[in-house]
A and B are shown apart, each in its own frame.
Chain A
Amino acid sequence: MSPPRSRGTAAPPGVDLAALLALVAKGDQLAFEAVYDRVCAPVFGTVRSVVRDPGLSEEVTQEVFVEVWRAASRFDAGKGSPMAWVATIAHRRAVDRVRSEQRSAERDRRAASSVIAYDDVAETVEDNLDRQRVRRCLGTLTDLQREAVTLAYYAGYTYREVARLLGVPAGTVNTRMRDGLIRLRDCLGAGR
């Protein structure tokens, strides 16, 4: 038997995500709902861009939040931002689900439709400040860096698949992914 859970008290909008997660770790369901409200859009958007299927995207999003609920005590603010923690869970779940479920033929078909994954994603989401910044920063990357990053992140491909799609050696893709992300991080001021 787990201890009875309090519903908790409604968190004021100013309370930061890390503090909310600390409450979630203690079983506070209202804090969990506040976390959900703050991060559900990035989570769902990311999952959907990788998974594509709307029903499956909802299912994976649900799994992501159950995981956030379960593992809230494992979040360590000293190791990264809460948003990075949640987004990492979300992206990995989405990617793992796609890789375990999709036959290679299906994925090849998908490849054709999502080579310009980022633009595709961009059309279906509301324009927001984050998107404008990311778009601007993606624009500072070389073509190969940008393609490697968007195919891996938004379409969920492995670097070997990206290499095949772009017709470049896997080692080159690796270094472009890393260089591209470092450049993005610096451009977005996302470094710590």
Chain B
Amino acid sequence: MRGRPEPHTLAGAYAMDALDGRDRVWFERHLARCQECAREVSGLHEATARLAAAAAAQPPPALKELLRAETARTRQLPPDITGSRATSARRRGAAGPAGSRRGRTRRPGRVPRLALTLAGIAVLAGIAVWAVTGTSRLAGAAPHSSAIVAVLTAPDMTTISARVRTGGTATVVMSQRERSLVFAAADLRALPASQCYELWLVGPGLDQPAGLLPMPSHRMTGPVIASGLRSGDKLGLTVEPATGSRHPTTPMLLVLAL
């Protein structure tokens, strides 16, 4: 972990989006429980809006036409009525668009322990950093990185963390809109070379293979992306032969309702 400055000093950098993925996640966690910081960031955003105005330049006229078509087929978000108003409003006000993105994150009640939450955040931050730097840990993963970024930046992004029965923590970042999820895990039990972990989309009456997990690197597995989510799907994880299976052949080590 790199050295962290005192969070208060980061308000300016945050207001100008000058924090990278990991720092941003960390600061937003701080913002969510620091009303004074949220107020300061909001004031600084008024200043950055003026910087934006100073850079004004007319876009090509065709853009408006494109948008007319785009909005006609784009569903709008309903007002945010989840969570206590104080919490969601503070978070939203503080974090701007990202706040609303995180507004739908599952209740802490779904995540059993603080340690687990922190592990999940660390994994998520790892994914974010991985995604933005484009440093591929997976052979041939490059085409996936834009799909991963799409999920991580989706307005309806939701994060769930859970323990894996045989050890380790899984984190899933999911977007219904993208019909995709990004899976990553930390500290999974090591497997012999003849076996690997396989993901499943567990639907009503059908378990669909959703990808093999790569070998861990620095205790981290993934991220991998699984697409084609159907409503009502759950995510499952099993140990399978190294070449993968068409149907789960061992008990589920994890079943997550999505």
Residues of A with Cβ closer than 8 Å to B? 2, 5, 25, 27, 29, 32-33, 36, 40-46, 48-49, 58, 61-62, 65-67, 69-74, 76, 78-81, 83-93, 95-96, 99-100, 103-104, 121-122, 124-126, 128, 130-131, 133-135, 149, 152-154, 156-160, 162, 170-171, 173-182, 184-185, 188, 190-192
A97 to B234, CA, bound (A): 31
Q: Select B52's contact among A27, A87, A95, A181, beta carbons within 8 Å.
A: A87
Q: Is the CB of B46 within 8 A of A191?
A: yes
A125 and B49 in contact (CB under 8 A), knowing A103-B134, A149-B16, A192-B43? no
Contacts of B146 in A (CB 8 A): 100
Contacts of A153 in B (CB 8 A): 16, 48, 51
Given that A45-B57, A58-B59 are contacting pairs, would A134 and B51 also be in contact in the complex, using a CB cutoff of 8 Å? yes
Is there contact, CB below 8 Å, between B12 and A88? no
A135 in contact with B54 given A67-B97, A191-B46 (CB within 8 Å)? yes
Give which listed residue, A45, A80, A96, A124, contacts B45 with CB less than 8 A: A80
B145 to A, closest residue via Cβ: A100
How many A-B residue pairs lie within 8 Å, measured between CB atoms?
258
Asked, given contacts A182-B44, A191-B43, whether A69 binds B76 with beta carbons under 8 Å apart, the answer is: yes
Query: Contacts of B60 on A, CB cut-off 8 Å?
Result: 58
* Most chain A beta carbons < 10 A, residue from B5, B20, B49, B132: B49
Query: Are A72 and B49 interface neighbours, CB within 8 A?
Result: no
Also in contact, A89 and B63, with CB within 8 A (given A84-B49, A192-B46) = no
Using a CB–CB distance below 8 Å, which chain B residues touch chain A? 5, 9-13, 15-20, 23, 42-60, 63-64, 66-68, 70-72, 74-80, 89, 92-93, 96-98, 100, 103, 131-134, 145-146, 149, 153, 155
| Cross-chain pairs A/B with CB under 8 angstroms, 10 sampled | A33-B68, A40-B58, A58-B63, A67-B155, A69-B67, A69-B76, A91-B48, A95-B17, A160-B20, A173-B13
Most buried by A among B47, B75, B78: B47
Q: A67-B155, A91-B52 are in contact. Are A177 and B12 (CB under 8 A)?
A: yes
Given contacts A32-B71, A79-B42, A92-B98, contact A134 B53 (CB under 8 A): yes
- Asked if A41 and B59 make an inter-chain contact with CB atoms under 8 angstroms apart, the answer reads yes
A100 and B134 within 8 A (CB):
yes
Task: Name the distance in Å between A76's Cβ and chain B's nearest Cβ.
Answer: 6
From B48, B71, B132, B155, A88 is in contact (CB under 8 Å) with B48
Given A73-B76, A74-B100, are A178 and B13 also a contact pair (CB < 8 Å)?
A: yes
